[in-house]
Amino acid sequence: MSAADQPAHDRTRTHSDPTLYRTPAEAVAAPPEKLAYVAGFDRSARRPDALITVDTDPASPSYGRVLNLTELPTLGDELHHFGWNACSSALAHACHQDPERRYLLLPGLRSSRLHVLDTRPDPVRPRLVKVVSAEELAARAGYSRPHTLHCGPDGVFLSCLGGADGADGPGGVALLDHDTFEVLRAWETDRGPQHLAYDVWWHLGANVGITSEWGTPAMVEEGVVPDLLLGRAYGHALHFWELDSGRHLQRLDLGDEHQMVLELRPAHDPEQQWGFVGVVTSVLDLSASVWLWYREGSAFAARKVIEIPAEPAKSEELPPALQPFGAVPPLITDINLSVDDRWLYVSAWGTGELFQYDVSDPFHPRRTGSVRLGGITERAPHPGAPGVPLTGGPQMVELSRDGRRLYLTNSLYGSWDDQFYPDGIEPWMIKLDADTTAGGLTVDPRFFPHGEEFRGLRVHQTHLSGGDASSDSYCFR
């Protein structure tokens, strides 16, 4: 059912949470975020992971500082991607009695546990209210290694890399109850040829779901496996589904030279049927790419619209895994699309660069800005600390609703960090200011939580209070 076909009382019903927005335009016009929540993990698994609260209010005396760490009661979770219990898509569906963007759900990528934190009454200090066990996830949905979480029309969608045995899969999507967070079932009713999993998103107005591919736990948990990469065994396809039924409709292969098809960023306009996906690397030349999927008649098609080449480097400057190639791969590990669907941001974690593209015409992106920070060989410093080389590179990128502020963190995944940055990764979080008129990026010199502020935890995904570009889908234009 399209948004336009929803019953009138569903389209107009009131709600008490002002951070749920009927349209992308309402989200863009809403007040700016004052807090950021960041997933932090301990690579050694000797101390708890934590949800970290950072001050993002420029008028605050603690702007750009860590305000709190809410530690988990367990070890070895490896917090990665997380999400809200409710988002703006709730406004067109009777999935909540009174939806509130209140609870943050934190999957453990290694433990398969899910921790639920309540941001009320004190949003600076969320408190743990529930733990969903790995056993419940396996027994009720048949999955393990939860990766990505989105609030959806029929429940909370939780993509998982592994099957109940934690190894070969197939991976897929578990549905969780919006209110109790109990695992309900597997979303898929007919998975067709799909086996590998990574991200899940949708086109709400068209009743279409989309999933992407990385690898099973055995393929990723100890780092990139060279034989699998050169053998083109990692994910290289998109899958399209009937959203309400979980029935597989189409597999779209990007070509097996394009390895690891990861972050999905569909158009925020719910009536559009296109979006971008990032591909980590090509086994032909180590380049990375961004692809556009789009409706073409009764099926979907895809084309490569951005390609970023590898950069030559001296062998002695490279980690052992890259020395045979004599080059630094860009390694596109995250992308983000602005809420108005005009700007696309691309993280090149290997070379240490964050790119801005004008995608007013999504078939022909135009590069309008970039910033160098860290990188495997360059180690470009923060302008506020010019003498300090940065480890890691722009990895996860989160974008404010109005598109003017970007927040970057530098850890990918513990074992992969160790392969590409074997000297270690010191955590950092950096804010960029974006020109949303003509394009361009600048680093905010005042905002630079790093090092011991994170108490030894590496930092991964960020979400913003009130929502952000990657945590919401909208029901109306």
Provide block-wise average pLDDT over 10 residues at a time, the chain (477 residues).
35 66 94 98 97 98 98 98 89 68 96 97 98 97 96 92 86 95 98 98 95 96 95 98 97 98 97 97 98 98 98 95 95 98 98 98 98 97 90 98 98 97 96 97 97 96 96 87
3-class DSSP state of 66: strand
* Residue whose C-alpha is closest to residue 76's, from 107, 39, 111: 111
Separation of alpha carbons 465 and 102, rounded Å: 10
* Residue whose C-alpha is closest to residue 130's, from 105, 111, 160, 108: 105
Alpha helices for 255-360 (secondary structure H): none
Do residues 150 and 87 touch, judged by C-beta distance below 8 A? yes
Do residues 449 and 65 touch, judged by C-beta distance below 8 A? yes
Domain ranges of the chain: 3-464
3-class DSSP state of 238: strand
Q: Domain 3-464 belongs to what topology?
A: Methylamine Dehydrogenase; Chain H (2.130.10)
Strands (E) in 133-192, as ranges, are 143-151, 156-163, 172-176, 183-186
Separation of alpha carbons 34 and 447, rounded Å: 13
Q: Residue 94: what pLDDT?
A: 52
Task: Output the six-digit token pair for 454.
Answer: 């994170």
Torsion angle of alpha carbons 50, 460, 52, 424, nearest 10°? 80
3-class DSSP state of 350: coil
Q: Maximum distance among all alpha carbons in the chain?
A: 65
Q: Residue 4: what pLDDT?
A: 36
Separation of alpha carbons 347 and 369, rounded Å: 12
Do residues 165 and 192 touch, judged by C-beta distance below 8 A? no
Q: Residue 13: what pLDDT?
A: 41
From residue 407, alpha-carbon distances to 29, 78, 130, 397, 414 in Å are: 19, 20, 28, 6, 20
User: Which pTM value belongs to this model?
Assistant: 0.95
Q: Residue 387: what pLDDT?
A: 85
* Residue whose C-alpha is closest to residue 477's, from 231, 164, 268, 228: 268
* Residue whose C-alpha is closest to residue 427's, from 456, 394, 388: 456
